[in-house]
Amino acid sequence: MSDRKVGFIGLGYMGEGMAANILAKHGQLTVMANRRRDAVDRLVAGGANEVSTPAEMAKGCDVIFLCVTGSPEVEAVIEGPNGILAGASDGLIVIDCSTAEPTSTVALAARLAAVGARLVDAPLGGTPAGAAAGTLQALVGTDADTFAEVQPLIACWAATIVHVGAVGAGHKMKLINNFISLGYASLYSEALALGQKVGITPEVFHSVIGQGRMRCGFYDTFMTWVMTRDENAHRFTIANAYKDLRYLGAMADNAAVVNVMGSAVKNQFAAFAAAGGAESYVPMLSDFVATQNGTKLA
């Protein structure tokens, strides 16, 4: 796909690093401002082209990556006034890297297919540092031929690329993945608060868990905040986490699956968001839970 014209919409914490890697490794990129004008300016200074609407991008690009907040934003970019559908033509491929509702993804794929375009869901795993380094994970939902076609472009920003099934499967797997990781966040937070209340400090907690079999990459970035107060260690907001857990709940409901743990984790994130913590980052849940229990970790 070295000759394909590529566009990118959604230059947030993850998107800017992903887009920068596409520009550096593919050699060409078109971007547009969504929320972060500064990110557009940096990419344009590095050689990217700029357009003003998704429709304009669709008319000039063969492949468009999306990395926005969730399904309402994806739907607006694709179906809204001057959206991708307004400029789409036969052969266009839209790769949605957002964390979205699978039912919406399948419906949008049908809308794009009606004009000869294809939708691929490729939600990502990792951190902004991984996005900048090009070492993210991609969970791809599409047919085998399209997967082979888009894999080289996804490889610009992903070190691990897994074809998980047909369109929509990527977003299903991503919701399950985030359920597990955010469940860890909830569990760590309660364990830390309990430890502090009974005389086990975060330092002691970390000296045990951080050297045992339960240590993992998510644990490391979560505990970096707990131990050093580095807010850049894990830049994923409570609002986004809560959104993903609501999507998971809807998927469980549609599948008639009892989701007891999912509901419990969702409600903990809901409580923090309602208390004013929506824009805080996920590891900061530990401080919220500690405060609920009348203690402090820091």
Indicate which residues carry an active-site annotation: 174
d(CA 136, CA 94): 19
φ, ψ dihedrals at 26, nearest 5°: -90, -30
Enter the tokens of residue 114: 């009606």
- Please state, in angstroms and rounded to a whole number, the distance separating the CA atoms of residues 273 and 257: 26
